[in-house]
Amino acid sequence: MSANDARSMACVKMRASERGCEPTVSHQKYFRSNSAAKSADVTIVVSFIGELYHNDAEPASSAAKQSIKLTAIPTRYKRLRSYASTLAESRGLILADTKFEFGLIDDDLVLIDEALTPDSSRYWESATYQVGTSPESYDKQFVRDWLIRSGWDKESEPPRLPDDIVAQTRERYLTAYQRLVGKPLFPRKPRNE
């Protein structure tokens, strides 16, 4: 068994909220070109995730360039993740999970969409964190938990969120922002007295 296989097996056996596994990088097989979603060229998918597909045709030069750019994603992801994790830990939070979306503009690999927000990441309170428990969080897990408790079947239209759940979610997001950035999103304005 290789070291990677052993690490993967250890990750499968992890307890709830346990840390320690190498972040994974997954690939979405669609990209946007001229505002229309298209299926990714097989040569790009093969080059990026190393699947055992076979393409008899010679790759077009642009597809070859794109596949080279896409192979840089795991390194860039891990660098961004490492920086963000260190920052979060310095602010008393654990960055448990996050997503970064990359795209190509011309031939440049760029970070797109939101990054490191409570909608795209899971932040846990490090002061109360314990393996095996559901950690106090500053992300959308609070809403997911409420939806599960509400009995929603995940197929019908979701129920309207009660005002108190919306308010508590807002407070969690604002708290995460303030702790990560070091200042409130909406600073109090001085009163004219």
The tens digit of pLDDT for each residue in 4-17 reads: 444 444 455 556 66
pTM, two decimal places: 0.68
Q: How confident is the model over 28-80, as pLDDT tens digits?
A: 544 444 444 444 433 333 333 332 223 334 344 555 555 556 677 778 888 88
What is the pLDDT averaged over residues 84-102?
90
Q: Between these two residues, 16 and 175, which has the higher pLDDT value?
A: 175
**Alpha-carbon gap, residue 13 to 31, rounded angstroms:** 34
Q: How confident is the model over 94-145, as pLDDT tens digits?
A: 998 888 887 777 777 788 888 899 988 999 999 999 888 888 899 998 999 9
Q: Between these two residues, 86 and 190, which has the higher pLDDT value?
A: 86
pLDDT score recorded for residue 46: 32
Specify the range with the lowest mean pLDDT, choosing from 4-8, 21-25, 81-85. 4-8
Q: Between these two residues, 182 and 64, which has the higher pLDDT value?
A: 182
pLDDT score recorded for residue 193: 58
- How far lies 3's CA from each of 7, 9, 10, 21, 168, in Å? 6, 10, 11, 13, 43
pLDDT score recorded for residue 93: 95
Q: Judge contact between 104 and 31, C-beta under 8 A.
A: yes
Instruction: Give the CA angle between residues 94, 98, 101 to the nearest 5°.
Output: 155
pLDDT score recorded for residue 18: 66
Q: Judge contact between 45 and 27, C-beta under 8 A.
A: yes
**Alpha-carbon gap, residue 81 to 147, rounded angstroms:** 29
Q: How does strand 101-105 pair with strand 108-112?
A: antiparallel
pLDDT band at 191 (very low <50, low <70, confident <90, very high): confident
Q: Quick check: 91 pLDDT over 80?
A: yes
